[in-house]
Amino acid sequence: MRFAEYFNSDNALNLSGILVTIMVGALSVYTVQNTAIWPLIALLSIAVLFCFIGFLSVSSRKRKLSLFWIEAIVILALYFLVNTDTIAILGIIWIVQAAEIYGSKRAAWLLVVSISIFALSQIYHSSTNQIFGALVSAALFGMFQIFALSVVQRGIQERKLREETAALNRELIATRELLSQTAAQSERVRIARDLHDILGHHMTALILNLEVANHSVQNQHQKAQEKVEQALALAKLLLGDIRSAVSELREDSSVDLQQSIQKLVLGIPNLNIDIDFSAAAPITKVEHAETLLRCTQESITNILRHSSATKCRIVVEHKGDKCVLTVSDNGSDKGEVEVGNGLKGMAERVKSSGGELSWEQTETGFVLRVELPTESSH
């Protein structure tokens, strides 16, 4: 990775936040070094640093929220214990985290509360004739927080657009792969049908004419009868070869769903995806392949949007007279699953294919299951 690419990455922003937190903590301890509370300030500064690093490291939303509010309490204590303007920089970093976890609207309300608390802390540290200066300082850092929130919100929107564009591109590639396989399958079926209907018909007529000719020359012209019998044997052999070729073309009309799913999940960041088709039988119905592909696509979208999962497993297998797709993840967030448009759309699509859709929240994550009937069960 080039330096410019690294500098514009999230890693560089996180590193800069850690360095700023360390510097503000050091300045806070330096400010109160001659007082009895300097060990407490040092401890609180370390607590802010660890909360910030933990916030960046963990993937669970619940843990992020816990660290976020612990950090808020510690920063609040530092506001009133340390009489320095630089402590407000911690509030700026905190607002950036609020935008990341809550979005712009809630972060804006938290911004108002943060500015108000910092203004109160400045008034608390100031004498009567310095209140105006304290309010000006609070307003100045409040503007910094507003600016930081605006920049971060724009960055979040750009990142979401990039992720959506990448997801649409992967879906387009997977769909194109499925369509190309469908076109190839249709072409194989058309060729098999033409071979059977045209060549097979003509070969059958030729065999019948040769049978008539064989009976006509029987016991009359020995050499002519031998030639007719040879032609008849060759015609029958050719008809058998045509039938074998037609059967092979039809048997080779399965859709490679695994390849389409692999292209669908290629390049997804922060999610380790395992695909298992070891127990899957060939899928010959394009409708079923498309249903399974769309259900996989929607499941991955839900994992990325609503889960803190880092691992996902996609399994396609045949059990009895059913083709079963299972998509499971290790998302640790518990709670009741809200049925949105994604799950409703999947249920409707699966039902139209004659199958069943089910899901459950387990101790290890979320599991979605799609069951479709195989050709033998129709």
Domain borders along the chain are: 3-125, 190-251, 254-377
Burial class (CB in 10 A: 0-12, 13-18, 19+), 193: middle
Q: What SS3 state is found at 290?
A: helix
Integer Cα distance of 50 and 369 in angstroms: 40
Integer Cα distance of 217 and 213 in angstroms: 6
Has residue 377 got a pLDDT over 60? no
H or E stretch covering 323? strand 322-329
* pLDDT in the model for residue 229: 67
Q: For 122-176, what is each residue's pLDDT tens digit? A: 888 776 667 777 778 778 887 888 887 787 777 777 777 777 777 777 777 777 7
Q: For 204-233, what is each residue's pLDDT tens digit? A: 766 677 677 766 666 666 666 666 666 767
Quote the pTM value.
Answer: 0.57
Has residue 346 got a pLDDT over 70? yes
Q: Which amino acid is at 358?
A: S
Average pLDDT over residues 358-375: 83
* pLDDT in the model for residue 322: 86
* pLDDT in the model for residue 194: 66
- Residue 351: pLDDT band (50, 70, 90) is confident
Tell me the DSSP string of 274-311.
EEE-TTPPPB--HHHHHHHHHHHHHHHHHHHHH---SE
Q: Estimate the crossing angle of helix 131-194 against helix 222-251, to 10 degrees.
A: 170
Average pLDDT over residues 8-20: 76
Contact 276, 328 (CB under 8 A): no
The strand pair at 322-329 and 356-361 is best described as: unpaired
Give the CATH architecture of domain 254-377: 2-Layer Sandwich (3.30)
Contact 188, 249 (CB under 8 A): yes
- 3-state percent helix, strand, coil for the chain, nearest multiple of 5: 70, 10, 20
Tokens at 297, concatenated? 């696509």
Average pLDDT over residues 171-198: 68
* pLDDT in the model for residue 358: 87
Has residue 8 got a pLDDT over 60? no
* pLDDT in the model for residue 7: 47
Number of neighbours of residue 306 by Cβ within 10 angstroms: 16
* pLDDT in the model for residue 378: 43
Integer Cα distance of 351 and 349 in angstroms: 5
Average pLDDT over residues 73-81: 89
Question: Averaging pLDDT over each range in 151-160, 252-261, 265-274, which range is the top one?
Answer: 265-274
Q: For 82-109, what is each residue's pLDDT tens digit? A: 888 788 888 888 888 888 888 778 888 8
Average pLDDT over residues 242-258: 66
- Residue 242: pLDDT band (50, 70, 90) is low
* pLDDT in the model for residue 260: 81
Has residue 3 got a pLDDT over 50? no
Average pLDDT over residues 72-82: 89
* pLDDT in the model for residue 296: 87
Lowest mean pLDDT, pick from 37-51, 107-121, 189-203, 324-338: 189-203
Q: What is the DSSP letter of 274?
A: E
Strand order in 366-373's β-sheet? 272-276, 311-319, 322-329, 366-373, 356-361
* pLDDT in the model for residue 376: 47
* pLDDT in the model for residue 46: 92
- Residue 69: pLDDT band (50, 70, 90) is very high
Tokens at 6, concatenated? 């690294």
Contact 330, 307 (CB under 8 A): no
Nearest in space to 53 (alpha carbons), one of 7, 28, 20: 20
Tell me the DSSP string of 10-31.
HHHHHHHHHHHHHHHHHHHHHH
Rg of the chain (C-alpha set): 35
First to last CA, the chain: 54
Integer Cα distance of 53 and 290 in angstroms: 43
Integer Cα distance of 210 and 354 in angstroms: 50
Contact 312, 271 (CB under 8 A): yes
Has residue 43 got a pLDDT over 90? yes
Average pLDDT over residues 296-311: 81
